[in-house]
A and B are shown apart, each in its own frame.
Chain A
Amino acid sequence: MVKKTLEIYSVELSGTKDIDQTDKGDGKEKYRGLKNCFEPKKNHQKEELKKELDLDDHKLSIKELEKKYGTNIITGLSSTQAAELLAQNGPNALTPPKETPEIIKFLKQMVGGFSILLWIGAILCWIAYGIQYSMNKSSSLDNAYLGCVLALVVILTGIFAYYQEAKSTNIMATFNKMIPQQALVIRDSEKKTIPAEQLVVGDIVEIKGGDRIPADIRLLSVQGCKVDNSSLTGESEPQARSSEFTHDNALETKNIGFYSTTCLEVSTSPVGTATGMVINTGDRTIIGQIASLASGVGNEKTPIAIEIEHFVHIVGGVAISIGILFFIIAVSLKYHVLDSIIFLIGIIVANVPEGLLATVTVTLSLTAKRMAKKNCLVKNLEAVETLGSTSIICSDKTGTLTQNRMTVAHLWFDNQIFIADTSEDHSNQVFDQSSGTWASLSKIITLCNRAEFRPGQESVPIMKRVVVGDASETALLKFSEVILGDVMEIRKRNHKVAEIPFNSTNKFQLSIHKTDDPNDKRFLLVMKGAPERILEKCSTIMVNGQEQPLDKSTAEAFHTAYMELGGLGERVLGFCHLYLPADEFPESYSFDVDTMNFPTSNLCFVGLLSMIDPPRSTVPDAVTKCRSAGIKVIMVTGDHPITAKAIAKSVGIISANSETVEDIAKRLHIAVEQVNKRDAKAAVVTGTELKDMSPEQLDELLTNYSEIVFARTSPQQKLIIVEGCQRQNAVVAVTGDGVNDSPALKKADIGIAMGIAGSDAAKNAADMVLLDDNFASIVTGVEEGRLIFDNLKKTIAYTLTKNIAELCPFLIYIIVGLPLPIGTITILFIDLGTDIIPSIALAYEKAESDIMNRKPRHKKKDRLVNQQLAIYSYLHIGLMQAVGAFVVYFTVYAQEGFKPSILADLRVEWENGIVNDLEDSYGQQWTWYQRKYLEWTGYTAFFVGIMVQQIADVLIRKTRRNSIFQQGLFRNKVIWLGIASQIIIALILSYGLGSVTALNFTMLRPQYWFVAVPYAILIWVYDEVRKLFIRLYPGSWWDKNMYY
C-alpha cells in the first residue's frame, strides 16, 4: 500500500502524463456511470445524451469546422451572423430549472393547509346568508360579512406566506446574478468583450489563464493549457488541453474545452491566450445537458412539510369531526338548519389556528436569516429544519473539509521531521529555523519555483493572494513568503540564468542562479522533484549546514521519512542544490538547457518537504459536534484513499482509536481476509470496490461501519451512496460543488452546494448554499435546524391551547343555550392579532439543553405534533383557559344583572330582535340592542380572559422540561415584546376601537382585565409542577404522558 502511495505521490508538479493515464483508464467508466444513473429516466433524455455523444467536432480539421459553422478563425463571425444565430439558438446560458409559475405558488398558498377549511367556513357563511336572504329580504348582513372576513383572512395570510417565500428566494436570485461573465470574442475581425450570454456557435473566443470557459469550445491554437474539469468529471487534478485530437470520445479528447470549467493556465509564450471556436452554447453544452438531467430527479417533500401536513391533518380532523358532531347534535336539539350551519362555522373558525402557518413561515425565515448570517444560505425555507433532522452527512473532502489549497505540512532536514503550521493564516511557523540546512533549503524553495503573485496585491494577506502557477508551487511560494518575506525581491537578487521546467520524463525542475553574495561568484544550481529521483542525483547530504557524504544510514533515514510523510497522504518533494565551481563555470558561462552543459548529478541533498490540502481548522471540532449530535459523517471524495483516510483521520471522521480492516490486518500481521470484519469500526471504500457492490452489500456496509470514507468515487457514485443512506431511513445531507453532483444534491433530503467552488448547476439543485464552503457552517445549520424544530413545537403548543378556549363557548352555547360568549370575529382577533407576535417570539427561545448532544429525531417517531402535545394543550391548559375565560364572562353578565342561573336556555329570547323587554335577574327589562351590547362586552371579556391566560401560556411554553427559572425569564427579550404586544393590541381593541360596533368590541371595565389572573397563575404553577415531575421521575408514566 505504502509503496503504491510513493508511486503516486512522487509524480509531481505538472504530472500530466499520469493523470492522462488515470483518465484513460476510468474515463469511459465514468461516463458509463453517468449514463447508468440516468437510465431509469425518461427515454428522450437518454436520447439527448446519446446525441451529445455523437459530437464529432473534435475530429474535424479547422477547415472543416470553419465550413460547418460558417465562420473564419481569423475574422470570426460577422455581427449580423452572430445576431441571427443568437436569435435562432437563444442566449448562451443554462436555463434555470423550471420554476413553478408565481401564480401557481400563490394559489398554492391560498388553498394549502387550513385555507381549505376557512374557505369552507366562508362558503357556509354565504350559504347561510343566502338562506336568510331568501327567507327575509331585510335580513342582517352579518353572515355575508363574516364570510368576506374569512375569505380575506385566507387571502391575506396566503399573500403573507407567499411574500415570505418570495423574499427568501430573492436572496438566492440576487446571489446568482452577482458575477456576470464576460467573454473575449473575435467578430468582424475585431476583438470585443461581450457578455458570455451572447456567444453563439461559430464564435472565435480567446481564453486566458484563470478564465471560466464561456461555452463548449473546440481549441484551435493553444500552448500549455490546463483546465479544471472537476465540476464536470469530479477529477480534481488539472487536465492538459491542446489543439490535437487525441481521443474518439468528446469527453476524453484534449481539444475540447467544456462550458463552465476553468482554464487554470495558458503558457505565456507565444501569445498567452488560447483560441477556440464555440461549438455548443447554453443548454446544448455537455454541462447544460447534465444539469437538465438533474432536474429529472424528483424533489422529495421536506421533513418539516410532512410534519406540518401531519399537524394540519390532526387539527383539521378535530375541527371537522367536532363540527359535524355538533351539527348533528344541534339539528337533533331542534335548532334550525341555518343556525346549525352558523354553529358549524363558529366551530371551524375556533378550531383552525388561522395565524399559525404564517407564524411558521415567519419563524422559518427568521432562522433562515440567522443562518444566512452564519454563511448558510437557505434556498428553500423548509430546508431550514431538514438540516436539523439530518442523520447522515455525505461530505465532500476538497474545499469543504479542507482548505482547498496545497499547503506545506511537513519538512524533513537534519534527519528530523518538522511540522509546519497548516492553519488558515499560517501565522506561526514554529519549527527550528536556525540550522544552516534550513537556510539552504529555504533558498531552493524560493528560487526553484516558477509561481508568482499577481502584481498589485501588497495589501492582501499572503495566504489570500492570487498566484499564477500550479498548486504545489503556489504552496511553496506562499510558505516561503510567509517565512522569508519578499520572495520576488530574493529572486531578483539571485538572478536566474537558466531553467528547466518540470516535465514528466525528468520528474524534476531545475534552475541556475547567480547568488546574492557579492563575494561568492559561484553559480547556484537548485533542483526539486520526486524525492527518489532527486536522491539518485545526490552524492552528499547536508546535515546541520554541513555537507556529508550520503551513506547507507542517511539514505535509510531519508526513506523512513519519505515513507512516513507519504503515509500521511501528503505529496512529498525532494530538494537539492549544488554550487557550481567558479573555475569551471565563470560568470560569463553560457548555460544551455538543451545540451545540459552543467552537472545534474553528485548534488547535495538538502531536505524533503511535504504538502497536503490541510483540513480547515474548524472542521475537527465540527465533526466531533456532529458525532455527539448522533450524525454520521461520511466522506465521499474523488481523491486517493490514502489522502482521504489521512484527512478523515485528522478531522475525526475516522476517530483516533478506530481501525479499518486493513489496519487490523497490518497490526496483527495477518491477511485482510482473516480479519473479523466486526472488529473494524471504520472503512475506506474505493469507487472500484463500490462499483462491484450490490445494494444489499452497500446497505450492510452503511449499517456495520460507523466511520466510512468513500475514496476515488465518481460523482455519479455519490447518488448511489445517497440512495443507500436513504434506504436506512436516514435524512441525508449531501454537499457538492460539481455539475455532476447535482443529481445527488437533488436526491438528498437536503442538498448543500458550495458557494465559492460550487457550479451554478449544483447551486440550482441544492436546497442550501454554504457561502464559505466550510463544513463547520453545516453544524451551525444543524443546530439552528434542531432549535427551530423544538421552538416550532412550542409555538404550535402555544397556538393550539387557546383553540379549546375558543371552541368551548360554541359547544356550551349550543348545548346550554347561554348568550354567545365569544364571536367569530373576536376569535379571529386572537388568532391573527394578539397571539401572533408571542408565537413568533418563541422562535427566539434558546435551547433548553445541549441540542447537539442528542440523536437526530426519528423521521417517523418524533413528530412535530404528537399525542402528548395535543392532549396537554387541548385537555389541560386549554380547558383551564376555557374555565378562566368563562369566569370573566360570567362576571360581566352577573354584575350587569344577568346571574349565571338565568343565562341557561336564554339564547332564543336573547337573540330575538322583537323581544325588547327581556327580564334580567333583578326584574329589569332590556331591549335587544342593550343585550347585544352586553353580549359584545361578554365577547371582549372572554377575549381578555383568553389573552391574559395566553400570557401565562407563552411563558410556560418557553421550556418543555426545565423550569422557567432555569431557562431565565428575561433571556428571550422578544417574548416580553410579544406579551407587551398582546396587551397593547387588546387595549387598543377594547378602548380604541370599542366604539366600532362592527368589530364587536366594547370598552371593558378595568377590573375585568384581572379576573382571569388567578387562572393564569394556576396555568403557570401547574406547568411548573408538570416539569418538576418530568425532571424528577424520568421514564415514569407522568414523563411519558406529559412530556410533549
Chain B
Amino acid sequence: MSQAEGGVVTSAFILLFYLVFYGFLTAMFTLTMWVMLQTVSDHTPKYQDRLTTPGLMIRPKTENLDVIVNVSDTESWDQHVQKLNKFLEPYNDSIQAQKNDVCRPGRYYEQPDNGVLNYPKRACQFNRTQLGDCSGIGDPTHYGYSTGQPCVFIKMNRVINFYAGANQSMNVTCVGKRDEDAENLGHFVMFPANGSIDLMYFPYYGKKFHVNYTQPLVAVKFLNVTPNVEVNVECRINAANIATDDERDKFAGRVAFKLRINKT
C-alpha cells in the first residue's frame, strides 16, 4: 500500500469514525431528550413556581408601553385602533355565544376530569358588550382615540390552575403614579364597572384542553386627561392572593404605562 493510499484509507477511517461518533451522539441526545419529555405532561407544566403572581398587561401593546394620541393626526392612533379591533374580535357576542357557556358569576368554573382523562374544558363567555363605551361596537370615536378619551384594556396573564382572588371578588384599579400624574389623569370610567374581574373565568386549564378560553378584560376610558403632558398611569389588581409589590418584577399584578394626549 503506498503512502498516499494509506493516507486515503486513514482519512476514510477518520471520516467514518466521525460519522459514527456524531451519529451516536445525536442518538444519545435524542434519547435523553425523549426520556426527559416523558416527564412533562401535555396539559399542565411540571412546575409553576415562577408564576405564583400573574402579570398584568395592557392593550394596545405599544413600544415602550406608551399610549400617545395625537387627536388631530389620525395616523398616530389608527394602528392602535386596528390592533384593538383585531384583539377584541374573539370577544364579539356572537362568537362567544356560539362557543362558550354562560356561567354563574361570582364563583369559579371548575371542571374536574371526573375520571375521564384530560376531558376537554368549556370556557365562560366574556362578551364584548360588557366593555360598554370601550367595546368599540358602532363607535364613531374609535375607542375614544379620535376624541382624546382613549380606552386602554387591561388583562391578567393566564396561569394554569390559578384560582385568582381566592374565592373573593377582585377588581382592577388605576391611579396616577405620582401626585401630579394623579392630577393630570383626570376622570376615568372602567368597564365592567369597578374594573372587577369575575371568578368564573378561573381556573384556566391550559391551551390544549381549554381551547376557547376567553381572557377577562378590564377597559379604562380616560375622560379628561390633561393634554400635552405625559401621564404615568399604574393599574393593579386587588385580589387576595395576588401580591402587587414585587420590587424586581414591575409587572407582577400591576402594569404601568404612559398616556399622552396631544391636542393643538
Contacts and interface: CB of A to CB of B under 8 A. Distances in A.
Interface in A923-948: 923-930, 933-934
A927 B44 contact: no
B65 A922 contact: no
A930 B56 CA distance: 12
Contacts of B251: 916, 927-929
Contacts of B204: 923-924
B45 A896 contact: yes
Contact of A1037 (B13, B46, B49, B61): B13
B64 interface: yes
Nearest to A928: B251
A924 B159 contact: yes
8 contacts: A894-B36, A895-B46, A916-B57, A921-B45, A922-B206, A923-B207, A923-B210, A928-B249
Nearest to B61: A914
B25 A899 contact: no
A914 B63 CA distance: 7
Contacts of A1018: 28
A1011 B21 CA distance: 21
Interface of A: 876, 879-880, 883, 886-887, 890-891, 894-897, 899-900, 914-917, 919-930, 933-934, 997, 1005, 1011, 1014-1015, 1018, 1037, 1040-1041
Contact of A929 (B33, B252, B255): B252
Given A922-B43, A922-B160, A922-B207, A916 B255 contact: yes
Given A899-B37, A916-B55, A879 B158 contact: no
- Interface-centre pick from A886, A890, A930, A1018 (highest chain B CB count, 10 A): A930
Tell me if A's interface is mostly helix, strand, loop or mixed: helix
A538 B166 CA distance: 128
B14 interface: yes
B157 interface: yes
Contact of A997 (B36, B47, B155, B248): B248
A930 B51 contact: yes
Contacts of A930: 50-51, 55, 249
B119 interface: no
B157 A883 contact: no
B99 interface: no
B158 A924 contact: yes
B25 A880 contact: yes
A739 to B, nearest CB: 55
Contacts of A876: 21
B219 to A, nearest CB: 17
A880 B29 CA distance: 9
B40 interface: yes
A915 B37 CA distance: 27
Contacts of A923: 158, 160, 204, 206-208, 210, 213
B94 interface: no
Given A929-B248, A933-B50, A899 B14 contact: no
Most chain B CB atoms below 10 A, which of A899, A920, A1005:
A920
Contact of A900 (B9, B22, B28, B33): B33
A1011 B39 CA distance: 12
A920 B56 CA distance: 16
B79 interface: no
A988 B65 CA distance: 39
B216 interface: no
A707 B226 CA distance: 102
A924 B43 CA distance: 11
Nearest to B29: A883
Contact of A897 (B22, B37, B48, B249): B48
Interface in B206-224: 206-208, 210, 213
B250 A920 contact: no
B258 to A, nearest CB: 12
A933 B49 CA distance: 11
Given A925-B55, A926-B51, 12 more contacts: A894-B46, A895-B39, A895-B40, A899-B40, A916-B255, A917-B57, A924-B48, A924-B157, A928-B249, A930-B249, A934-B50, A997-B248
Contacts of B111: none
Given A926-B55, A928-B251, A997-B248, A914 B65 contact: yes
Nearest to A876: B21
B171 to A, nearest CB: 20
B55 A927 contact: yes
Nearest to B246: A929
Interface centre among A896, A919, A1015 (most CB of B within 10 A): A896
A879 B29 CA distance: 11
Contacts of B141: none
B54 interface: yes
A922 B207 CA distance: 6
A1014 B36 CA distance: 12
B168 interface: no
A887 B33 CA distance: 7
B259 to A, nearest CB: 16
The 10 A-B pairs with the shortest beta carbon distances in the complex, nearest first, are: A923-B207, A927-B55, A925-B157, A929-B249, A897-B45, A895-B46, A927-B251, A916-B251, A917-B57, A1037-B10
Contacts of B48: 896-897, 924
A922 B158 CA distance: 10
Contacts of B56: 916
Contacts of A920: 45
Contact of A883 (B25, B44, B160): B25
B228 interface: no
A890 B255 contact: no
A1015 B24 CA distance: 12
A372 B237 CA distance: 72
A890 B33 contact: yes
